[in-house]
Chain A
Amino acid sequence: MPLDRSVVQNIAHLARLELNAEEEAQYLSQLENILGYFRSLDEVDTSGVEPATEIVDPGDVVRDDVVDNPPAGEELLANAPSRHGRFFRVPKIIE
């Protein structure tokens, strides 16, 4: 279970969190501590145990194919940090 600086950097990148060196070191030591404690799960014999992916079975939960939303009003766009007309505007995406 190797947790090192580069793993922390990779996770921070996946999560899009810009960390400085100090924060990286801090998260590394905290995560090591927390995950070390969490390794207690290794003691548990889970062979043949199904993962709990469903907490309750809520029954039939689908919708009919009906358009019941009105055209989006201004309030849905109003929180945008930057707009161009009815578009959301973001820094240029370079592929």
Chain B
Amino acid sequence: MLEPIWQPLAQVAKELDAGRLSSVELTTQVLHHIEATEPKIHSFLTLTPETALEEARAADERRARGERGPLLGVPIAVKDVILTKGVRTTAASRILENFVAPYDATVIRRLREAGAVFLGKLNCDEFAMGSSTENSAFGPTYNPWNLQRVPGGSSGGSAAAVAAGQCFAALGTDTGGSIRQPAACCGIVGVKPSYGRVSRYGLIAYASSFDQIGPMARTVADCALVLEIIAGRDPRDATSAAQPVPRYSAELERPLRGLRLALPQECFGEGVQAEVRDAVLSAVRWFESQGVAVVETSLPHSRYAVPTYYLVATAEASSNLARYDGVRFGLRLAEEAGLLTMYGRTRASGFGAEVKRRIMLGTYALSAGYYDAYYLKALKVRTLVRRDFEAAFTRADVVAMPTAPTTAFRLGEKTGDPLQMYLSDIFTIAANLAGLPALSLPCGFDQEGLPIGLQLVGRPFQEAQLLAAAHAYEQAHPWKSQHPSL
């Protein structure tokens, strides 16, 4: 039998229910495993072993009183852009290095109610801005499959921790691909829900009209279990949608027959690593063999997705990050030099290079004289990107494509060229522009043994359909049982 730490979340909950394992035992094992692997991976920014064990004890007591639940007593971890009351929450930034969250994000509150055990806070690109986790102010995270490679980003710590068996599931956030791309890089499953599906209250905002919190885990079913807990309307988030939340975990066995899959021609051309293209196309053929109709489609505006996204997202970011001014919380420098210098120096030293670059870009896009040419223009193209998907969904239910054009790249490979780094989001961004649900799941490895991700994009609020399709594929393929050797 599999070691408990490598079991799927759904399985380990059964072990706990059966009394073959206590949450305290499980949490202790996980903490040992973290201790052993963390020097290589560096997925955590803050570990909270004491409170984790307390929470584990509390979960064991709840279970002893007859309570049941798939997350009760299960150790998970959280990307460090999500507020966890009483715990340092840094957004991987110097500017929040000592910030202790005074409240819980709504997703955290819901997971606490479900009895999850919180191991700590996971590394990421600073303020979730990046595609490699190299923009963390506290050092990069290393890909468990190959320590010379990045884990992807920005939720690289989350992806690496899950892939390395350091937790059963993690929360990530996805603004332009930050759940799916690292999930692909690390060979796990990551779900970006529809915009509005999961409350953003307590998520440190990067780009408000894109940001979504989502689950990352080793199996589709595990993601479904976490998603059904965190999804749903939140009276504290006016952009959270009122649509009822299905029990995703109960809908996984939906038959594939009747499903229609669309392949956008733009996503299989130049710039895509051959092994990635082959793995994705072979996954598509498997779907076809299962009675799924496959149609060619076109997303003609997807080639504009990167500029559109980077203009709108950085504009929002430039405003969202204005609150880091050294007045009410966070870093403060040079107060003796007066207010203006305090602002300028605090922010210049507190933010890293990429964050500053995006603030500059967004400020420029919004500033007088450039607004129409950049920001407004990008918003209009955003409409066209959405229309492309609407057109595709008249002929298909799910759009399939690679999650990323390549497998995980080397550390340092793209840090010198911001634009090249931006282009690694080329396939993930469109779903964020259109607010659509999307997931990435493993569909093979390249010659160097690096995982490849298959991306499925669905209609708004059709997460259940995506999860069911992904689950069917996963059941028929061996990827989920392969783990990196550490």
A and B pair up: yes
Contact between A52 and B382, CB atoms less than 8 A apart: yes
Contact between B383 and A52, CB atoms less than 8 A apart: yes
| Chain A residue at minimum C-beta to C-beta distance from B100 | A79
Q: Which of B326, B331, B351 makes the CB contact (< 8 A) with A17?
A: B351
Contact between A14 and B194, CB atoms less than 8 A apart: no
Bound-complex Cα distance A94 to B340 (A): 10
Q: Which of A40, A51, A60 makes the CB contact (< 8 A) with B382?
A: A51
Q: Does B364 contact A (CB under 8 A)?
A: yes
Q: Does B239 contact A (CB under 8 A)?
A: yes
| Given A31-B361, A61-B238; A91-B348 close (CB under 8 Å) | no
Bound-complex Cα distance A47 to B458 (A): 28
Contact between B377 and A41, CB atoms less than 8 A apart: yes
Residues on the A chain within 8 Å of B304, using CB:
40-41, 44
| Interface residues as binary, A57-68 with B (CB distance below 8 Å gives 1, 0 otherwise) | 011111100000
Residues on the A chain within 8 Å of B4, using CB:
none
Contact between B194 and A56, CB atoms less than 8 A apart: yes
Residues on the B chain within 8 Å of A80, using CB:
327-329
Q: Is the interface of B mostly helix, strand, loop or mixed?
A: helix
| Given A33-B419, A78-B102; A56-B196 close (CB under 8 Å) | yes
Q: Which of A16, A33, A53, A55 makes the CB contact (< 8 A) with B344?
A: A16
Residues on the A chain within 8 Å of B380, using CB:
44, 46, 49-52
Q: Does B335 contact A (CB under 8 A)?
A: yes
The number of chain A residues with a CB under 8 A from chain B is 52
Contact between B360 and A37, CB atoms less than 8 A apart: no
Residues on the B chain within 8 Å of A33, using CB:
418-419
Q: Is the interface of A mostly helix, strand, loop or mixed?
A: loop
Contact between A15 and B347, CB atoms less than 8 A apart: yes
Contact between A79 and B344, CB atoms less than 8 A apart: no
| Chain B residue at minimum C-beta to C-beta distance from A8 | B360
Q: Does B168 contact A (CB under 8 A)?
A: no
| Interface residues as binary, B354-390 with A (CB distance below 8 Å gives 1, 0 otherwise) | 0011011101100100000110111111111010000
Restricting to A23-59, which residues have a CB under 8 Å from any CB of B? 27, 30-31, 33-35, 37-38, 40-42, 44, 46, 49-53, 55-56, 58-59
Q: Does B307 contact A (CB under 8 A)?
A: yes
Residues on the A chain within 8 Å of B414, using CB:
none
Q: Does A81 contact B (CB under 8 A)?
A: yes
| Chain A residue at minimum C-beta to C-beta distance from B209 | A55
Min CB gap B325→A, angstroms: 7
Contact between B367 and A79, CB atoms less than 8 A apart: no
Q: Which of A7, A75, A78 makes the CB contact (< 8 A) with B364?
A: A7
Q: Which of B235, B339, B361, B435 makes the CB contact (< 8 A) with A91?
A: B339
Bound-complex Cα distance A35 to B419 (A): 10
Contact between A18 and B345, CB atoms less than 8 A apart: yes
Residues on the B chain within 8 Å of A35, using CB:
361, 364, 374
Q: Which of B238, B339, B419 makes the CB contact (< 8 A) with A34?
A: B419
Min CB gap A25→B, angstroms: 13
| Given A11-B360, A58-B242, A80-B328; A40-B419 close (CB under 8 Å) | no
Bound-complex Cα distance A37 to B426 (A): 14
Q: Does B269 contact A (CB under 8 A)?
A: no
Residues on the B chain within 8 Å of A82, using CB:
332, 335
Contact between B359 and A30, CB atoms less than 8 A apart: no
| Given A44-B384, A49-B384, A56-B194; A93-B347 close (CB under 8 Å) | no
Restricting to B102-137, which residues have a CB under 8 Å from any CB of A? 102
Residue from A15, A50, A58, A93 with most neighbouring chain B CB atoms (10 Å): A15
Residues on the A chain within 8 Å of B241, using CB:
56, 58-59
Bound-complex Cα distance A53 to B342 (A): 34
| Chain B residue at minimum C-beta to C-beta distance from A47 | B380
Contact between B310 and A34, CB atoms less than 8 A apart: yes
Bound-complex Cα distance A56 to B338 (A): 43
27 contacts between A and B (CB under 8 A): A11-B364, A14-B363, A14-B367, A15-B322, A15-B347, A16-B325, A16-B343, A27-B360, A34-B310, A34-B422, A41-B381, A44-B384, A46-B377, A50-B380, A51-B380, A52-B379, A52-B380, A52-B382, A52-B383, A56-B194, A61-B238, A62-B238, A78-B100, A79-B329, A79-B330, A81-B330, A93-B339
Nearest 9 A-B pairs (CB), nearest first? A18-B344, A51-B379, A79-B329, A81-B332, A38-B307, A46-B380, A52-B382, A55-B435, A16-B343
